[in-house]
Amino acid sequence: MRSVALVLALTAIAVALLALILGASGMDVGRALLALSRGAAGSWDAVLSGTLVRATPLLITGLAITLAFRAGVLNIGAEGQLLMGAAAAAAVGLAWPGLGLLAVPTLLVIGAIAGGAWAAIAAVLRLRFGVLEVISTLMLNFVAQYLLSWLVRGPLQEPQHIYPQSASLAESARLATLVPGTRLHAGFLLGVLLAGMLAIVFARTAAGFRVRLVGANPAAAISAGRIDAARVAFGAFVLSGALAGLAGAVEVSGVTFALYENLSPGYGFSAIAVALLARLHPAGVVGTATLFGALEAGAVAMQRDAGVPSVVVSVVEAVLILLVVAAEQWRTRRVAAQVGA
Amino acid sequence: MTVAALALEGITKRFGAVTALDDASLTVRAGTVHALLGENGAGKSTLMRVAFGMLAPDRGTVRVAGTAHTFATARGAIDTGLGMVHQHFSLVPALTVAENVALGGRGRFDRAAVAASVRDIGAETGLLLDPDARVATLPVSAQQRLEIVKALSRKARVLILDEPTAVLAPDEARELLAWVKRWAVGERAAVLITHHLADAFAVADDVTVLRRGRTVLARGVDGLTESALVQAMLGEALTVASGAPSAHDRTGAPVLALDRATVVDERGIERLAPTTCEITAGEIVGVAAVEGAGQAELLRLLAGRLRPSSGRATVPLSVGFVPADRHRDAVVLDMPLVENLALKDAAQARSWMPWPALRSETDALMSRFDVRANGPTTPMRALSGGNQQKFVLGRELAEGPVALVVENPTRGLDIRATEEVRSRLRAARDAGLAVVLYSEDLDEVLALADRVLVVHAGQVQAMPPDRTRVGRAMLGAS
């Protein structure tokens, strides 16, 4: 319930901010907002094929970030992990087109493994040499991006060797459509399920509790709990990468059906905002991912129908994050002040 | 009558529904050391924050050398000649001594001039510091000297020192108090906020006692007895137990054992020389040491929290450990009490967490150890220091451990909470636990311990709890 209220409040703030920015730059506020809301929620098709399809990769990578940040691991590399997951899934799907019913599950698992392996590079660097994961994961994003660029021009390029993209996946390797006639695929449902699972893992399981402990106070987890904090953080790091990789596989198997250079418009980065806005609660991530999906789907419509540059929406997203982070700080300080008095 | 160096008259300060100060007063005569005493939460720090302009009082007057002031900020207080040394230092570790002194000053930073003034103050007062030393490399006692020098460089005539001896070894504390006594002459005066009665008797001319925000005692220290002071602080007669160690015979079985165990830190420096010792059931072994002598390593070996670099440590799994830095090492402040209880066994926990059962365990622990909080779901952060410590001690004793290792268990606690913690330790010993206790407060070690391990420069030696012998051994005197 609290996360629903949070998302509604955030939505209201986002719209108000947008109106303010548009008004201040002398644009037709009414027309722009109308176009935005039509693009995001004007019809069933807008919601299902626009907002929710956009929300899906944000949701799954948002969960990836949530898991890592809760463990105190600052994984900034969901973008790269997503791309590697997408590449691995596409490679396997194209190499073995005859997998039949097993094709989709295989692709998703392969995507998760690839994302986890990509994160494991940074996790090992952290564990063995103390390399800060903020730096290593950020840098590995570039490596992944250029690796992808090479793949779609090299070994995975479509047979005509004209476009920098792969061939299309067989029908059997594509995720099922949830609502006939729309683009909404089973990946969204998978994301919601994963959010529920992650919420339960945090709240009810021993492993989830250890992750929260290590993230909240590693020294106490080690000293009072005798927890192998490095191991727990390592596990959360790799699993976080696996989730991001899964998001990439879902995108390939559910939306693009082929590997493209610019497969992701920065889902892995937006995911950080999605997770922080949800205050690292998995259930909240469903809401904030949907909000961001709506904003981005609406932004496209706004640019098309009202001539307002879609980057305005990025400004709104950024301001939302600042607001939430500031509110969080303010709340913590108030609690501390009350106790200290 | 001469004008008081600092006078606080009829100060009232409320925080919401809580009245922190209720018509409190304090008069500090020039040329004296004034001890401000009171239990935790009695209002000592609040009163001094009012004096220093960090808090605006709801009612009352602050006079410095006779003139009434209304400070909007600490800057105003500094300008009238007040200086404050907080318990937690406000230094920038990466900067040098001179740079720290210059911080908060105005105008251009003239390194040579600031360095010269640091040297001048050193020559004049005996607070010697190298102006070019980086603060991060200074020992705690030197950092405290720097805090005082900072105040003096701004021409402070009244120094307010908040628990200045809490972080110091006994000899350093004695030195500091002697310095304060020498310094506070003529126009100058010092206020010592403390809950160490001994500090007050050692140097103070006058004493003010606060209880629940009111001034309940203000007089000269001559003819004042310790029991009168304790009674004023607590509001009732309470004997300060200077516990006679039980006349038990050490026939218990060895529970913890070290066999030529050493600890070498990551820079390759030996923190603990080869140590062999046994702790048996039913005794309290006190550990006495000055800061950084290797006692932290010894305690962690005995608690099974550290593996020896060489040699052997025989430590059962069920050892309770109460570390000195509660907030860092023992609890998660942002988590509720029930999760802080579950923390203890989190490494062994499998599959599902039994939260309902853990909540009732938390309830039981809270009533058994008199932890005052609203319930198992209260965040740890909302508890007072004393209640946090009782919770941690209760948690570490909850599952019937065979041994308990405690480090500075009463630091920062008021007299009542201190006495409760101490009686828990005695009860644990009497119940047959092997108890290891380290405290910065040597008197606490001597009051509770059946025998003492003295650590000096990584060397451990065992001896009976004899004040003179232990005190000399701590300092490395033979």
- ipTM for the assembly: 0.86
What does the pLDDT read at residue B244?
47
Q: Which residues of B touch A341 (CB under 8 A)?
A: 15, 18, 20, 46
CB contact under 8 A, B328 and A217: yes
The whole-angstrom separation of Cα A117 and Cα A130 is 18
What does the pLDDT read at residue B247?
47
Which residue numbers in chain A have pLDDT < 50? 339-341
Q: Average the pLDDT over B67-91 and give the result.
A: 83
What does the pLDDT read at residue A337?
58
The residue with greater pLDDT, B166 or B231, is B231
What does the pLDDT read at residue B44?
85
- pLDDT mean across residues, chain B: 85
Give the model's confidence band at B1: pLDDT under 50 very low, under 70 low, under 90 confident, else very high.
Answer: low
A·B CB contacts under 8 A? 77
Among A214-228, B61-75, B271-285, whose mean pLDDT is lowest? B61-75
In the structure encoding, which two tokens stand for residue A147, read together?
A: 């690796």
The whole-angstrom separation of Cα B156 and Cα B104 is 14
DSSP A172: G
What does the pLDDT read at residue A341?
34
CB contact under 8 A, A206 and B323: no
Selection from A323, A322, A341, A290 nearest residue A46 by Cα: A290
Which residue of B20, B334, B343 is in closest CB contact with A224? Answer: B343
The whole-angstrom separation of Cα B250 and Cα B403 is 15
Q: Average the pLDDT over B23-43 and give the result.
A: 86
What does the pLDDT read at residue B166?
66
Q: Which residues of B touch A227 (CB under 8 A)?
A: 346-347
Q: Mind listing the pLDDT tens digit for each residue in A88-146?
A: 999 999 999 888 889 999 999 999 999 999 999 999 999 998 899 999 999 999 999 99
The residue with greater pLDDT, A92 or B174, is A92
The answer for residues whose C-beta is within 8 angstroms of residue B473's C-beta and 6 or more apart is B288, B454, B456, B461, B463
For residue B98, the tally of other CB atoms under 10 A from its CB is 26
Q: Which of A226, A333, A334 to mutate to test the interface with B (most CBs of B within 10 A)?
A: A226
For residue A226, the tally of other CB atoms under 10 A from its CB is 18
For residue A157, the tally of other CB atoms under 10 A from its CB is 18
Q: Mind listing the pLDDT tens digit for each residue in B374-419?
A: 889 999 988 887 889 889 999 999 888 899 999 988 877 778 888 8
Q: Mind listing the pLDDT tens digit for each residue in B86-111?
A: 877 888 988 999 999 988 777 788 88
Beta-strand relationship, B283-288 and B434-438: parallel
Q: Is the pLDDT of residue B320 over 50?
A: yes
Q: Is the pLDDT of residue B362 over 90?
A: yes
Sheet with B82-85, strands from edge to edge, namely B82-85, B158-162, B189-194, B33-37, B206-211, B214-220
Three-state SS for chain B is CCCCCEEEEEEEEEECCEEEEEEEEEEECCCCEEEEECCCCCCHHHHHHHHCCCCCCCEEEEEECCEEECCCCHHHHHHCCEEEECCCCCCCCCCEHHHHHHCCCCCCCCHHHHHHHHHHHHHHHCCCCCCCCEHHHCCHHHHHHHHHHHHHHCCCCEEEEECCCCCCCHHHHHHHHHHHHHHCCCCCEEEEEECCHHHHHHHCCEEEEEECCEEEEEEECCCCCHHHHHHHHHCCCCCCCCCCCCCCCCCCCEEEEEEEEEEECCCCCEEEEEEEEEEECCEEEEEECCCCCCHHHHHHHHCCCCCCCEEEEECCCCEEEECCCHHHHHCCCCCEHHHHHHHHHCCCCCCECCHHHHHHHHHHHHHHCCCCCCCCCCEHHHCCHHHHHHHHHHHHHHCCCCEEEEECCCCCCCHHHHHHHHHHHHHHHHCCCEEEEECCCHHHHHHHCCEEEEEECCEEEEECCCHHHHHHHHCCCC
What does the pLDDT read at residue A9?
83
The kind and range of the H/E element at B45 are: helix B44-51
The whole-angstrom separation of Cα A34 and Cα A305 is 9
Q: Is the pLDDT of residue B183 over 80?
A: yes
CB contact under 8 A, B329 and A226: no
Q: Which of A197, A209, A214, A280 to mutate to test the interface with B (most CBs of B within 10 A)?
A: A209
Q: Mind listing the pLDDT tens digit for each residue in B321-353?
A: 999 888 889 999 999 999 999 999 898 888 999
The residue with greater pLDDT, B170 or B242, is B170
The values of phi and psi at residue A330, to 5°, are -60, -40
What does the pLDDT read at residue A202?
96
Nearest CA-CA distance, residue A114 and chain B, Å:
27
Q: Average the pLDDT over B474-478 and give the result.
A: 62
Q: Average the pLDDT over B250-269 and give the result.
A: 81
Pick the residue from chain B with its C-alpha nearest to A209: B346
Pick the residue from chain B with its C-alpha nearest to A211: B346
Q: Is the pLDDT of residue B240 over 50?
A: no
The whole-angstrom separation of Cα B440 and Cα B421 is 15
The residue with greater pLDDT, B472 or B260, is B260
Selection from B419, B420, B451, B456 nearest residue B435 by Cα: B451
Q: Average the pLDDT over B5-22 and give the result.
A: 85
In the structure encoding, which two tokens stand for residue B378, read together?
A: 């209260």
The whole-angstrom separation of Cα A12 and Cα A33 is 12
Q: Mind listing the pLDDT tens digit for each residue in B291-303?
A: 677 888 999 999 9
What does the pLDDT read at residue A334?
67
Nearest CA-CA distance, residue B347 and chain A, Å:
5
CB contact under 8 A, A225 and B346: yes
CB contact under 8 A, A225 and B339: no
What does the pLDDT read at residue B353?
94
Nearest CA-CA distance, residue A71 and chain B, Å:
14
The answer for residues whose C-beta is within 8 angstroms of residue A182's C-beta and 6 or more apart is A44, A45, A48, A49
Give the model's confidence band at B243: pLDDT under 50 very low, under 70 low, under 90 confident, else very high.
Answer: very low
The residue with greater pLDDT, A192 or B266, is A192
Give percent of chain B with pLDDT exceeding 70. Answer: 92
Is the CB of residue B442 less than 8 Å from the CB of residue B474? yes
CA A35 to chain centre: 25
Q: Which residues of B touch A223 (CB under 8 A)?
A: 305, 321, 323, 329-330
The whole-angstrom separation of Cα A249 and Cα A81 is 10
Is the minimum CB–CB distance between A130 and chain B shorter than 8 Å? no
CB contact under 8 A, B329 and A219: yes
Q: Mind listing the pLDDT tens digit for each residue in B133-172?
A: 898 888 878 888 999 999 888 888 999 998 887 667 667 8
Interface list for chain B against chain A, based on CB atoms closer than 8 Å: 15, 18, 20, 46, 305, 321, 323, 328-335, 339, 342-347, 349-353, 355, 379, 381-382, 392
Is the minimum CB–CB distance between A223 and chain B shorter than 8 Å? yes
Q: Which residues of A touch B321 (CB under 8 A)?
A: 223-224
Is the minimum CB–CB distance between A212 and chain B shorter than 8 Å? yes
